[in-house]
């Protein structure tokens, strides 16, 4: 009985003290404790990630561009939003089928030249774990970031997931083409998911879109955020006809066939809908005024995209132009190397539109007599897309028409070789200087291609993604700079 009475007295005393302290104080104390535990959890996640990175790199097991992020995310599921919030001037997301790496690196160079501290997932790991790893690489042991900007290349499918919990300051959307249909599906589906994900973002979020892409132009016209557009206004760059590898030539509003004044590549061009009145959005810059160093119309788009975003961030136009004129290509993206006193240019191509534009650029150089040999390397691994049927949508006939030596290699050597045989049969009958060389072994294929390249010419290598890494490893002893 005395024991029960004693417990009652203690209970009364606790309630009296609770009243004195006040519920608000208890709530605040609870928040402080939760924040302290969160910091401890954050420190643990960061510390483990940095240890894993050090171990993987010291043992030469890889670039450690994904695993540290995966482990730290397991330890702290809400880590990525915390890292986003710490980037002082905001996070920039770069999305699109083609051009993400070149555009991101150009933008990073523009900002770095102005003295800004910039984070970038330069390894190309563009899924959630890769983004976390890139940000963690720039934190201290407590998880604190001090960068001015973070430029993150983001996989098309990941953007909607990312925007559920993270708020970027800028989103730059370059284009939408068919790419790895076994993973992504059609471009209309992706665009719809993007629109739903972007719509709830704050109105001061800046969205940069390609006006020449009907799908993206339509998307921008429906957003409440600040939207700016880049695009070409150079009719002299129009293609003679709409290419076979075209995706979105129908109106995204009503489905009617768009009326094109001209196309620059694939479905990118000057257009309007004769049915509902939808038309290309007005651009916020003049493409004729912009310099270009890297070859290809697609790199013109990349230059305009990075330049417009830099202008929106307050960078002076002359400063942007100065960086563009001195910019060097990203690894594998029109990257130029000197091998055995011969020039080699690696041009990553992983979908119909990308390869068509690469062929267009190579042919322009062929016409000058400075290139006679091309090496095509086709792989079907996960980074490339396991479905290689896309090569039949590529206008490879254009590569054959000008003749020269064409060396074929890669995991799917004979698929590409068969495609080129059909291409040669449909090329002009008087074409006699075309030579097809099939070599499964990539190292031997590169050696053969170099043998057929004279010292005053450039060997063009056109690989898919995993093939590009292998090519670089053979040529320079490492996969990525």
Task: Tell me the pLDDT tens digit for each residue of 193-229.
Answer: 999 999 999 999 999 999 999 999 999 999 999 999 9
Average pLDDT over residues 84-110: 95
Nearest Cα residue to 82 out of 123, 43, 27, 130: 43
Distance CA 391, CA 412 (A): 11
Backbone angles phi, psi at 319, to 5 degrees: -65, -40
- Fold exhibited by the domain 52-325: 3.40.1190
Q: What local confidence, expressed as pLDDT, does residue 24 receive? A: 58
Average pLDDT over residues 356-364: 89
Distance CA 76, CA 97 (A): 30
- The strand pair at 91-95 and 268-272 is best described as unpaired
Q: Which residues contact 296 (CB under 8 A, 6 or more apart)?
A: 334, 357, 358, 360, 361
Position 324 confidence tier, pLDDT thresholds 50, 70, 90: very high
* Threshold 0.85, pTM exceeds: no
Sign of the torsion angle spanned by Cα atoms 75, 77, 82, 83: positive
DSSP letter at 283 equals P
Residue 4, pLDDT above cutoff 70: no
Nearest Cα residue to 305 out of 87, 97, 100: 100
How do the domains of the chain map onto residue ranges? 52-325, 333-476
Lowest-pLDDT range of 43-52, 385-394, 396-405: 43-52
333-476 belongs to which homologous superfamily? Answer: Mur ligase, C-terminal domain (3.90.190.20)
Backbone angles phi, psi at 431, to 5 degrees: -80, 110
Convert the pLDDT of each residue in 417-449 to its tens digit: 999 999 988 765 445 578 999 999 999 999 999
Position 62 confidence tier, pLDDT thresholds 50, 70, 90: low
DSSP letter at 293 equals -
Q: What local confidence, expressed as pLDDT, does residue 122 receive? A: 83
Average pLDDT, rounded, for the chain: 86
Q: What local confidence, expressed as pLDDT, does residue 401 receive? A: 86
């Amino acid at each position: 009985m005395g024991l029960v009475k004693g417990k009652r007295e203690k209970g009364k005393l606790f309630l009296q003290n609770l009243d004195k302290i006040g519920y608000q104080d208890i709530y605040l104390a609870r928040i402080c404790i939760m924040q302290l535990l969160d910091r401890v959890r954050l420190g643990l996640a960061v510390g483990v990630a940095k240890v894993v990175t050090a171990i993987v790199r010291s043992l030469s097991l890889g670039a450690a561009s994904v695993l540290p992020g995966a482990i730290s995310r397991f330890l702290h599921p809400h880590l990525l939003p915390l890292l986003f919030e710490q980037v002082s001037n905001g996070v920039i997301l770069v999305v699109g089928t083609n051009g993400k790496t070149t555009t991101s690196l150009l933008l990073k160079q523009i900002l770095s030249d102005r003295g800004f501290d910039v984070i970038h997932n330069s390894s190309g790991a563009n899924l959630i774990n890769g983004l976390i790893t890139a940000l963690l690489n720039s934190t201290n042991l407590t998880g604190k970031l001090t960068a001015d900007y973070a430029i993150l290349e983001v996989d098309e499918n990941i953007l909607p997931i990312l925007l559920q919990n993270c708020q970027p300051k800028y989103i730059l959307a370059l284009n939408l083409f068919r790419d790895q249909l076994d993973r992504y599906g059609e471009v209309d589906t992706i665009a719809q998911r993007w629109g739903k994900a972007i719509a709830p973002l704050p109105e001061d979020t800046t969205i940069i879109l390609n006006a020449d892409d009907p799908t993206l132009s339509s998307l921008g016209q429906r957003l409440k955020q600040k939207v700016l557009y880049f695009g070409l206004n150079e009719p002299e760059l129009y293609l003679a006809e709409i290419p076979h590898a075209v995706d979105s030539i129908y109106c995204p509003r009503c489905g009617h066939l768009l009326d094109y004044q001209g196309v620059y590549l694939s479905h990118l061009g000057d257009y309007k809908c004769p049915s509902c009145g939808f038309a290309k959005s007005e651009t916020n810059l003049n493409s004729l005024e912009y310099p270009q160093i890297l070859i290809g119309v697609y790199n013109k788009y990349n230059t305009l995209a990075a330049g417009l975003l830099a202008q929106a961030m307050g960078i002076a136009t002359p400063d942007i132009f100065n960086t563009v004129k001195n910019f060097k290509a990203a690894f594998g993206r029109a990257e130029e190397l000197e091998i055995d006193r011969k020039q080699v240019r690696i041009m990553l191509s992983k979908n119909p539109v990308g390869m068509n534009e690469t062929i267009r650029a190579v042919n322009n150089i062929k016409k000058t007599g400075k290139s006679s040999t091309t090496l095509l390397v086709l792989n079907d691994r996960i980074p490339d897309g396991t479905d290689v049927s896309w090569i039949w949508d590529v206008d490879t006939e254009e590569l054959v028409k000008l003749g020269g030596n064409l060396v074929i290699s890669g995991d799917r050597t004979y698929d590409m070789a068969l495609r080129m045989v059909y291409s040669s049969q449909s090329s002009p009958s008087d074409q006699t200087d075309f030579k097809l060389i099939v070599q499964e072994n990539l190292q031997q294929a590169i050696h053969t291609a170099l043998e057929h390249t004279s010292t005053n010419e450039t060997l063009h290598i056109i690989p898919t993604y995993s093939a590009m890494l292998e090519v670089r490893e053979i040529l320079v002893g490492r996969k990525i700079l």
